[in-house]
């Protein structure tokens, strides 16, 4: 087996954004109670950071305060409020006693101009806001949206400001979900060489590359990956937590063991139920498809050699179960008796 562990040597953890980006999914209408249930699953899974919405909105502030109370005296997961580069957002975050703020910035001059800002004035505002956040004891992460669609230099100016003002983590977002893997490798690598801060990557899935781009980003030096249960988010969503953790497991089971991965199927099942959708077929947590074997060649090899011939990892690892789909025109000769014996042996 290839030893991939060096790829993950600097990996620090997951920023779960089900309650922030996930809430932006068209089909998500989480109630306070739904949100509490999701939070409990995230705690069980062992994600390091839970990202929540912007507490400047009173309803969101209430929700964050409820989660903060639910976590009690413990310090995990750390709670980060996702906010704008605005003083009042920082003050609202401090009021609900989150651990940190994820400040979202833009390098888009049109967007800045619409807010009456220039790149310089917005960086100056960032410096003041970081100082304010630090004075409240908040940890600060600074993100730049559409990192791959903007000039690297313009993004770097923001990250350099973040670093000199005392942020601890910088984040890059593939907001449009169209970055190619080689661009991710090149740009994340370039950022890695220019900052000492921790790097977080956030990848949208419009072209179906959110998982591989996240893994490539880690390989290029990212320390944190933003993900959500089922991958829910704006449009087609972001990196699904289950797919990302399954990749970690394949790369280095010891790193993946930080998480209770066997809770993934139940956690993503809960979110699919709350959103009124099925677990998408390409997810490893799909009870219907994740580990369904149908073609004769596959079934035959499974019977002869065991499940390893056609499974990247055992369904148990993610809390899912295997399904043998017999009796179709393409299923070959595997019998019910053989299938039963197989299931008894491999579970
Ligand atoms: C959005 C913002 C964001 C921010 C990501 C981040 C994006 O909702 O458009 O702060 O890391 O994708 O740019 O989700
Ligand atoms: Cu996003």
Mind listing the domains of the chain with CATH numbers?
Answer: 4-275 (3.20.20.70), 292-346 (no CATH)
Whether the pLDDT of residue 137 is over 90: the answer is: yes
Measured from the Cβ of residue 203, the count of other Cβ atoms closer than 10 Å reads 28
pLDDT digits (tens, 9 = 90+) for 164-202: 999 999 999 999 999 999 999 999 999 999 999 999 999
Is residue 117 a contact partner of residue 125, using CB atoms and an 8 Å limit? yes
Dihedral of the CA atoms 332, 337, 340, 341 (nearest 10)?
-100
Q: Is 171 in the pocket of ligand 1 (CB under 6 A)?
A: yes
> Which residue, by CA, sits nearest to atom 9 of ligand 1?
175
DSSP state of 204: B
Taking the CA of 199 as reference, the closest ligand is 1
The percentage of residues in the chain with a pLDDT greater than 90, rounded to a whole number, is: 96
Q: How many CB atoms lie within 10 A of CB 273?
A: 13
Give residue for tokens 């109630």. Answer: 31
Residues 6+ apart with CB under 8 A from 48: 12, 13, 14, 15, 76, 77, 78
Residue 59, Cβ density class (10 Å: 0-12 exposed, 13-18 middle, ≥19 buried): exposed
pLDDT at 73: 84
Which residue minimizes the CA distance to atom 8 of ligand 1?
Answer: 21
Q: Which two tokens stand for residue 114?
A: 């619409």
The alpha carbons of the chain give a radius of gyration, in whole angstroms, of 22
- pTM greater than 0.95 (yes/no): yes
Q: For the beta carbon of residue 329, count every other beta carbon within 10 angstroms.
A: 6
In sequence order, what E strands does the chain have?
A: 13-16, 49-52, 78-84, 100-105, 139-144, 169-174, 198-203, 224-227, 292-293, 323-324
Select from 145, 204, 231, 232 the residue to mutate for testing ligand 1; criterion: most ligand atoms less than 8 Å from CB.
145
Instruction: Please report which confidence band the pLDDT of residue 347 belongs to, taking 50, 70 and 90 as the band edges.
Output: confident
Instruction: Report the separation in Å between the CA atom of 195 and the middle of ligand 1, taken as the mean of its atom positions.
Output: 21
Indicate whether 72 pLDDT > 90: no
* Average of per-residue pLDDT across 219-248: 98
State if residue 21 touches ligand 1 by the CB under 6 angstroms criterion. Answer: yes
Neighbours of 267 (CB within 10 A): 26
Distance, C-alpha 88 to centroid of its chain = 27
Query: What is the CA(204)–ligand 2 centre distance, in A?
Result: 6
Q: Which atom of ligand 1 has the smallest separation from the CA of 172?
A: 11
**pLDDT over 70 at 10, yes or no:** yes
Query: Given this model, what pLDDT does residue 240 score?
Result: 99
Q: Is residue 2 scored above 90 in pLDDT?
A: no
How remote is the CA of residue 237 from the centroid of ligand 2, in Å? 8
Q: Is 145 in the pocket of ligand 1 (CB under 6 A)?
A: yes
Model pLDDT, residue 217? 98
Cβ 104 under 6 angstroms from ligand 1 = yes
- Which residues, in sequence order, are bridge partners of residue 101? 81, 140
Pocket of ligand 1 contains residue 175 by CB under 6 Å: yes
298 is known as an active-site residue:
yes
pLDDT in tens, 20-39: 999 999 999 999 999 999 99
Q: What pLDDT, on the 0 to 100 scale, is given for residue 270?
A: 98
Tell me the pLDDT band of 5, cut-offs 50, 70 and 90: low
- Cβ count within 10 A of residue 196: 6
Burial 240-260 (b: 16+ CB within 10 A, else e): bbbbbbbbbbbbbeebbebbe
The two structure tokens encoding residue 335: 């019998």
Residue 4 binned pLDDT confidence (cut-offs 50, 70, 90): low
Report the pLDDT value the prediction gives residue 35, as an integer from 0 to 100: 97
As a whole number of angstroms, the distance between CA 292 and CA 298 comes to 10
Q: Which residues lie closer than 8 Å to 281 by C-beta, 6 or more apart?
A: 288, 289
pLDDT 10s digits, 298-317 = 999 999 999 999 999 999 99
Per-residue pLDDT, averaged over 202-221, amounts to 98
Residue 75 confidence (pLDDT): 87
Does residue 224 have a pLDDT over 80? yes
> Can you tell me which atom of ligand 1 is nearest the CA of 175?
12
Residue 98 Cα to chain centre, angstroms: 19
Cα distances (angstroms) measured from residue 267 to each of 37, 68, 74, 256: 9, 20, 22, 17
How far away, in angstroms, is 28 Cα from ligand 2 center?
15
- Check whether 1 has a pLDDT greater than 70: no
Quick one: how far is CA 12 from the chain centroid? 13
Tell me how far apart the alpha carbons of residues 273 and 116 are, in angstroms, rounded to a whole number: 43
Residues 112 and 144 sit within 8 Å (Cβ to Cβ): no
Given a cut of 60, is residue 228 above it in pLDDT?
Answer: yes
Q: Is the pLDDT of residue 229 over 80?
A: yes
Query: Percentage of residues in the chain with pLDDT exceeding 70?
Result: 99
Tell me which of 202, 293, 298, 327 is the catalytic residue. Answer: 298
């Amino acid at each position: 087996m290839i030893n991939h562990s060096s790829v993950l040597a600097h990996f620090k953890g997951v920023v779960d954004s089900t309650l922030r980006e996930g809430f932006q999914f068209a089909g998500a209408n989480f109630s306070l109670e739904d949100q509490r249930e999701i939070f409990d699953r995230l705690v069980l899974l062992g994600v390091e950071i839970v990202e929540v919405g912007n507490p400047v909105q009173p309803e969101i502030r209430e929700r964050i305060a409820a989660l903060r109370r639910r976590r009690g005296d413990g310090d995990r997961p750390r709670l980060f409020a996702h906010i704008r580069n605005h003083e009042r957002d920082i003050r609202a975050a401090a009021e609900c006693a989150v651990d940190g703020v994820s400040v979202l910035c833009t390098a888009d001059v049109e967007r800045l101009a619409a807010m009456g800002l220039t790149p310089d004035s917005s960086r100056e505002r960032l410096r003041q806001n970081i100082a304010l956040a630090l004075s409240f004891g908040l940890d600060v992460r600074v993100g730049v949206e559409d990192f791959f669609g903007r000039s690297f230099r313009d993004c770097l100016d923001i990250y350099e400001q973040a670093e000199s003002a005392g942020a601890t983590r910088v984040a890059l977002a593939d907001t449009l979900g169209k970055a190619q893997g080689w661009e991710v490798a090149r740009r994340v690598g370039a950022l890695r060489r220019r900052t000492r801060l921790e790097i977080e990557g956030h990848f949208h899935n419009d072209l179906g590359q959110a998982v591989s781009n996240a893994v490539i980003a880690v390989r290029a030096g990212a320390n944190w990956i933003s993900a959500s249960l089922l991958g829910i988010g704006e449009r087609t969503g972001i990196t699904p937590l289950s797919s990302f953790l399954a990749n970690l497991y394949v790369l280095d089971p010891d790193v993946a063991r930080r998480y209770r991965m066997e809770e993934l199927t139940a956690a993503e099942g809960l979110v699919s139920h709350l959103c009124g959708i099925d677990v998408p077929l390409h997810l490893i947590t799909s009870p219907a498809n994740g580990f369904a074997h149908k073609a004769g060649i596959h079934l035959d090899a499974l019977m002869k050699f065991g499940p390893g011939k056609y499974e990247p990892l055992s369904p148990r690892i993610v809390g899912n179960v295997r399904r043998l789909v017999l009796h179709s025109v393409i299923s070959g000769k595997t019998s019910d008796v053989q299938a039963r014996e197989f299931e008894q042996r491999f579970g």
